[in-house]
């Protein structure tokens, strides 16, 4: 077993990954491969909470997400990319953890509330929809990570996970309620209380300038977009500015994107200064420069992604290898949790064929 600290994070396959995923989490994942044992879950069961009637789409999206992760620099030799549906320990831990959380606490999760609103679910969502918030705690704790790279919107989910870890350790492992989070394992707890590792850009606004970048809102720049598609999407950014001599808002979405994606800080400062003064600098010119910078970032990703296009078998091989590694850790965790909770009667082994 590696002595390096472990991290766990992942994605629900709801569509192709985009720039928001890159700056919010995936860039950090790629960096952490150098120093941590990395486990990246593709949460395909969670996708059924709102699309149970579209299994073929979920399967396709699952494979596309893996292609995107490989394109962005996740190395399957150093990181395990794995399928949630093939880790039975997660389902068992979900049921156990559900006993530790009051229903009202789950429903107070602000991310859950936002999703109900954004997806117009009203009162029609399935029982499995709020259950996925509990399932996410199991996704994480099954791997006993010290940290979870997440976007800003996922921090409430992680706080629920931290509550479950504390409650389990206190209830079944004798950890005192005054023990600091970092001391739980040393005091005999099964689960570390994981910390959030939020990317430099916790939340990327979409090209509409209003909502978080999302495929469903049609305001995203996808990792797999062609250079022309990227420029076309960037050209849609609306600022309300009428001429190059009109002073612009240096905090609007166009300027935010310049801050994030144009690597030359001095050039960004120059653009923002001219923009704020209305010093004969047009939105169109800035969008061309911004589009070129984003395409420079994405071009190596497109090249890596091309190696896996149309080759589902290669993608499935990556998932199988990662899932074997993931099951080894998750089964170990489950055995520890069962023993602590008085459920440890037999040993078992999970094998993929």
Domain boundaries, the chain: 6-203+312-340, 227-306
What CATH number labels 6-203+312-340?
3.40.50.620
Mutual orientation of helices 88-98 and 312-340 as an angle, nearest 10°? 40
The architecture of the domain spanning 227-306 is Orthogonal Bundle (1.10)
d(CA 90, CA 26): 23
pLDDT tens column, 2-35: 689 999 999 999 889 999 999 988 999 999 999 9
Residue 106 exposed, middle or buried by CB count within 10 Å (0-12, 13-18, 19+): middle
66: Cβ contacts below 8 Å, ≥ 6 apart = 42, 81, 308, 315, 318, 319
pTM for the whole thing?
Answer: 0.90
Structure tokens belonging to residue 100:
């530790």
d(CA 256, CA 205): 9
pLDDT tens column, 127-144: 888 898 999 999 999 999
**Bridge partner list, 149:** 197
Question: Hey, CA dihedral for 40, 46, 50, 54, is it positive or negative?
Answer: positive
126: Cβ contacts below 8 Å, ≥ 6 apart = 49, 52
The string of DSSP letters for 251-285 reads: TSHHHHHHHHH---HHHHHHHHHHHHHT-S--HHH
Structure tokens belonging to residue 320:
């199988």
Rg of the chain's alpha carbons, rounded to an integer? Answer: 22
d(CA 279, CA 296): 27
pLDDT digit string (tens) for the chain, length 353 residues: 568 999 999 999 988 999 999 998 899 999 999 999 999 999 999 999 889 999 999 999 999 999 999 999 999 999 999 999 999 999 999 999 999 999 999 888 887 887 787 777 778 888 888 898 999 999 999 999 999 987 777 777 789 999 999 999 999 999 999 999 999 999 999 999 999 887 677 789 999 998 889 887 889 999 999 999 999 999 999 998 999 999 999 999 999 999 999 999 999 999 999 999 999 999 999 999 999 999 999 999 999 999 999 999 999 999 999 999 999 999 999 999 999 999 999 999 999 98
The SS3 call for residue 293 is helix
67: Cβ contacts below 8 Å, ≥ 6 apart = 224, 305, 308, 309, 315
CA of 336: how far to CAs of 39, 41, 188, 332, 347, in Å?
19, 21, 11, 6, 11
**Bridge partner list, 147:** 7, 195
* Contact in structure between 165 and 195 (CB atoms under 8 Å): no
CA of 118: how far to CAs of 50, 65, 132, 286, in Å?
12, 22, 17, 31
């Amino acid at each position: 077993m590696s002595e390096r600290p472990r991290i766990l994070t992942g994605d629900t396959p709801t569509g192709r990954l985009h720039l928001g995923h890159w700056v919010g989490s995936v860039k950090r994942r790629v960096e952490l491969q150098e120093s941590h044992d990395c486990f990246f879950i593709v949460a395909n069961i969670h996708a059924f909470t709102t699309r149970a009637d579209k299994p073929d789409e979920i399967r396709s999206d699952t494979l596309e997400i893996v292609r995107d992760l490989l394109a962005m620099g996740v190395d399957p030799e150093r990181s395990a990319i794995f399928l949630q549906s093939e880790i039975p320990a997660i389902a068992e831990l979900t049921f156990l953890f559900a006993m530790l959380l009051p229903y009202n606490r789950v429903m107070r999760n602000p991310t859950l509330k936002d999703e109900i609103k954004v997806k117009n679910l009203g009162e029609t969502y399935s029982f499995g929809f709020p259950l996925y918030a509990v399932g996410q705690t199991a996704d994480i704790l099954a791997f006993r990570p010290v940290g979870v790279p997440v976007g800003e919107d996922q921090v409430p989910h992680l706080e629920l996970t931290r509550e479950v870890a504390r409650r389990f350790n206190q209830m079944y492992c004798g950890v005192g309620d005054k023990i600091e989070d970092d001391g739980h394992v040393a005091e005999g707890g099964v689960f570390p209380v994981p910390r959030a590792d939020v990317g430099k850009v916790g939340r990327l606004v979409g090209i509409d300038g209003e909502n978080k970048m999302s495929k469903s809102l049609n305001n995203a720049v996808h990792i797999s977009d062609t250079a022309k598609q990227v420029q076309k999407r960037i050209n849609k950014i609306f600022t309300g500015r009428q001429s190059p001599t009109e002073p612009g808002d240096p905090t609007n979405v166009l300027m935010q994107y310049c801050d994030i994606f144009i690597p030359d800080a001095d050039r960004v400062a120059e653009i923002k200064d001219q923009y704020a003064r209305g010093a004969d600098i047009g939105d169109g010119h800035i969008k061309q420069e911004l589009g070129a910078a984003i395409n420079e970032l994405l071009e190596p990703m497109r090249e890596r992604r091309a190696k896996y296009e149309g080759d589902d078998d290669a993608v499935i091989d990556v998932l199988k290898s990662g899932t074997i590694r993931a099951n080894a850790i998750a089964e170990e965790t489950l055995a520890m949790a069962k023993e602590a909770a008085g459920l440890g009667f037999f040993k078992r082994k999970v094998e993929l064929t």
